[in-house]
Amino acid sequence: MTAIDPTAHLTAEQIEELGRELDAIRDEVLADRGEKDAAYIRKVISAQRKLELASRGVLLFSIFPPAWLLGTAGLSVAKIMDNMEIGHNVLHGQWDWMRDPKIHSTTWEWDHVSPSEQWKHSHNELHHTYTNVIGKDNDLGYGIMRVDEDQRWHPFHLGQPLWNFINACFFEYGIAAYDLELGKNLRKRRRKDPEFRARARAVGRKIRKQVLKDYVIHPLLSGPSFLTTLAATFTANLVRNLWTHSVIMCGHFPEGVQVFERRSINGETRGQWYLRQMMGSANISGSRAMHFMSGNLSHQIEHHLFPDLPSNRYAEVAVKVRVLFEKYELEYVTGSLPKQVFSAWHKVFRLSLPNRKPKVRTPAPEKELIAA
């Protein structure tokens, strides 16, 4: 957190006006949402399925190196598409308006070890509501890291670059554990809670299915290519994990992103909620392909402002949102993928050590304003 509040220059009236302007941007998209958008998501889903089928087909012959490379690359991309542009966004309810039971947040399941039901709770309800509020939003370091000076240091954090790297490699398992709130629930008292046990069993079942498919059935189907297909699916999962972890780190960890105190959100108005999302998220700039492969989470700011708008609309929304940032003299945190990944990792390293100077806790003016 910066000591100087970057929103201090805004009056309460201005913040509400900002909220109204953002509502208007949202309404414009809603009024225009229709056939083309539906065609878009169906095309993406169809392309993903064909790519996955083709890649797994090629991997039946993965004993031949070119087939291995091609199949692994294809499967990696298919898994990323499934998790990002399709899974994440469908589970947000971005496509619920189509009323297609096959593309609906309540029926969708993704190629991921965390069951969609649990992920929706921890992600949609907790993270998106309490974005960047210390003590409320566990996405701030996933409970294993310190990503802001205002989070209390613990010797455990000395190892956080390593924890983060391990988490990146096995990111889907990290998310499953996180959705289960494993850290909290493994304590003795909670371990026997029937609700937790039911959820843990659901995760167990999902893991079993995923592992069976990727590491047993498809390798077996490959016959003589058993080992190479096993290596291919493992690699594809690893690539997917590293990629999604990188994209998601860039959403809230880069320098310049603000965090908020727990009490600052008491009685928060719609305008203030919008402002928190604007200041608490960071974008990634890049090509259309990069935006697509990130599931349009490269438009993290727009996604946090309007989590249920179809992802294919974030690019056009971003143009209008950026104008508002300029109008209200706010910093639009964005940068290329390498720059933002470096920035986030830099923070992970820097904050593994305690703060240099004990920070003087003066209530920043912005906090007063938001609490008002």
Partner 1 sequence: MVTTPLLPSDYLDLVSPLRAGADLRGRIEAVHPETGDAATVVIKPGRGWRGHTAGQYVRIGVDVDGRRLWRAYSLTSPTDRRDGRITITVKAIPDGKVSNHLVRRAAPGTLVHLDQPTGDFVLPQAKPAKVLYLTAGSGITPVMGMLRDTGFDDVVMVHCAPQPQDVIFRDELHRLAADRKLRLTEVHTATDGRLDIARLGELVPDWAERETWACGPAGLLDAAEEHWTEHGLRVRLHTERFRPRTVVTGGDGGEVTFSATGTTVDADGATPLLDVGEEAGVLMPSGCRIGICFGCVTPLKAGAVRDLRTGEITEAEPGVLIQTCVSAAAGPCDIER
Q: How far is the CB of 109 from partner 1 (least distance, A)?
A: 4
Q: How far is the CB of 210 from partner 1 (least distance, A)?
A: 7
Q: How far is the CB of 199 from partner 1 (least distance, A)?
A: 16
The residue written with tokens 């209390």 in the block is: 152
CB under 8 A, 24+ apart: contacts of 227-230: 228/59, 228/62, 228/63, 228/68, 229/59, 229/60, 229/62
Nearest to 141 by CA among 357, 361, 367, 344: 344
Nearer to partner 1, 63 or 211 (CB): 211
| The amino acid at 149 | E
Nearest to 166 by CA among 191, 142, 135: 142
Residue 280 φ/ψ, nearest 5 degrees: -100, 5
Is residue 131 a contact partner of residue 140, using CB atoms and an 8 Å limit?
no
Q: Encoding tokens for residue 61?
A: 């012959």
Nearer to partner 1, 301 or 309 (CB): 309
Q: Which residues bind partner 1 (CB under 8 A)?
A: 33-39, 46, 49-50, 53, 93, 96-102, 104, 106-107, 109-111, 206, 209-210, 212-213, 217-218, 221
Nearer to partner 1, 1 or 29 (CB): 29
Q: How far is the CB of 212 from partner 1 (least distance, A)?
A: 6
Q: Encoding tokens for residue 39?
A: 């065609």
Nearer to partner 1, 23 or 150 (CB): 23
Nearer to partner 1, 244 or 246 (CB): 244
Q: How far is the CB of 216 from partner 1 (least distance, A)?
A: 9
